[in-house]
Amino acid sequence: MTSINKTRIESLDLLKGLVIVIMALDHTRDYFHAAAFIFDPADPTQSTLPIFFTRWITDFCAPAFCFLAGLSAFLVGKRKSPAELSGFLLKRGLWLVFIELTIITFGWHFDFHFRDILLQVIWSLGISMILLAGLIHLPKTIILIFSCVLIFGHNLLDTIHFDGNILWSILHERNRFTFADGHYFVTAYSLIPWVGVMSLGYRFGSLFDKSFEAVKRRKILNTVGISAIILFFVLIGINKYGDPVRWTNFDDSSKTLMSILNVTKYPPSLLFLLMTLGATFLFLANAENLKGKMVNFFCTFGRIPFFFYILHIYLIHFIALFVAGFTGFGWQKMILPRFVTKVEELKGYGLNLWMVYLIWISVIILLYPLCKKFDQYKQNHKEKWWLSYL
């Protein structure tokens, strides 16, 4: 049985740790893989299975984090009044938005002019928390219905477009806008259906209450997870709804497989969420009894994921400065006016996939001691309110 009676629930920390470490692989690939500057790694017509699955495995990160953020909000709310929880979510949401627009944006680009601002996963989590601050006051059934409507129905909006409409892009469409001469922002993570994923996590939080039976929790999570995966394959077979891009049957079976699994992430389609959240449910259902050194290793990152998230972006980018310098491109090329893979001058730069994995593992090893010390400090100083924002 998982450690429900402890302050923290180890299976949740384990999942957070796994997904944040896997997320670091995707960001390492962005900065170092030569192919990333030439083609989309998820494109079945150009990619290979090793490249595709290096990208594909990281698709599970954002949905798991968003769902767990909502679940954690429920658990935090067990120690607070609804008004106090709303206040906490509002402040934390605003904090995440601020960090995304400043510290994280600078980490991605090292550009003091802030010419390209990406509204990515941290921004989306922040805005979703702000909205969740109001949603928590609704009846539980309404929260569940709201979540399911957004997740299952938002692909009905795929054909609706409003050219140049910033609000619509923030809600449901990935776009790039000019907000000043030579300065842009990208709505990479639209709010629909991400806010529904977070509110769904909040609704599932009651399963992890101390009074809830572990056997019953496991049965529910397994049932929901298996149902999500089955529905994914049913909709794949129908190939009519659930994703704005239909998969293609190629003569090559590996390309067909990549086409089937290459579901839309921006914004996340129903198929994307069925695939990723289905796996999340199954992991949570069956990870409660996992123990050992590797579990403790990943739980360390899972207890301080935001701290690790910021550090790993800066470390990866600093390493990229040196690699660009040593490979003849010059470190200055890594002062980025746009997202790294979109910079034309960097075509031809990069390393093979094995080197990407080596750098990724090195980043994890280098950051582990610092993360462990911060984790220990955080656990030993729970009276410090500001630690709850890191």
Q: Which residue ranges make up each domain of the chain?
A: 10-389
| Contacts by residues 251-260 (CB-CB < 8 Å, ≥ 24 positions apart) | 254/49, 255/44, 255/45, 256/44, 257/49, 258/42, 258/44, 258/47, 258/49, 258/52, 259/44, 260/236
- Give the number of other Cβ atoms within 10 Å of residue 69's Cβ: 25
Mean pLDDT (whole number) for 193-198: 98
C-alpha–C-alpha distance, residues 40 and 96, integer Å? 29
Q: Calculate the CA dihedral of residues 283, 286, 289, 294 and round it to 10 degrees.
A: -30
Q: Is the pLDDT of residue 3 over 50?
A: no
Q: Phi and psi (nearest 5°) for 115?
A: -80, -20
Q: Which residues contact 176 (CB under 8 A, 6 or more apart)?
A: 184, 185, 186, 187
Output the six-digit token pair for 105: 């944006």
Contact 124, 189 (CB under 8 A): yes
Q: Over the chain, what is the mean pLDDT? A: 95
Residue-level pLDDT at 182: 86
The number of C-alpha atoms within 13 Å of 245 and in the hemisphere containing its C-beta is 19
- Identify the burial level of 5 via C-beta atoms within 10 angstroms of its C-beta, where 0-12 means exposed, 13-18 middle and 19 or more buried: exposed
Please, which residues bridge with residue 116 across strands?
Answer: 184
Mean pLDDT (whole number) for 212-239: 97
| Interval 331-340: pLDDT, tens | 999 999 999 9
Cis peptide before 337 (omega within 30 of 0): no
Residue-level pLDDT at 389: 78
- CA distances 375 to 55, 115, 288, Å, are 29, 34, 21
Mean pLDDT (whole number) for 380-386: 83
| Interval 138-169: pLDDT, tens | 999 999 999 999 999 999 999 999 988 999 99
Query: pLDDT grade, residue 4 (50/70/90)?
Result: very low
| Interval 250-277: pLDDT, tens | 999 999 999 999 999 999 999 999 999 9
Q: Is the pLDDT of residue 72 over 60?
A: yes
Q: Is the pLDDT of residue 5 over 60?
A: no
C-alpha–C-alpha distance, residues 111 and 334, integer Å? 9
Q: Poorest-confidence range of 14-28, 113-127, 350-364, 375-389?
A: 375-389
Q: Calculate the CA dihedral of residues 344, 188, 302, 275 and round it to 10 degrees.
A: -110
| Interval 301-328: pLDDT, tens | 999 999 999 999 999 999 999 999 999 9
Q: Is the pLDDT of residue 1 over 60?
A: no
Residue-level pLDDT at 32: 98
Lay out the sheet containing 183-186: strands in order across.
116-118, 183-186, 176-180
Query: pLDDT grade, residue 2 (50/70/90)?
Result: very low
Q: Is the pLDDT of residue 95 over 60?
A: yes
Nearest to 26 by CA among 57, 4, 47: 57
Q: What pTM did the predictor assign? A: 0.95
Q: Calculate the CA dihedral of residues 234, 64, 153, 92 and round it to 10 degrees.
A: 180
Residue-level pLDDT at 270: 98
Residue-level pLDDT at 179: 85
- CA distances 277 to 193, 272, 300, 381, 389, Å, are 13, 8, 23, 33, 25
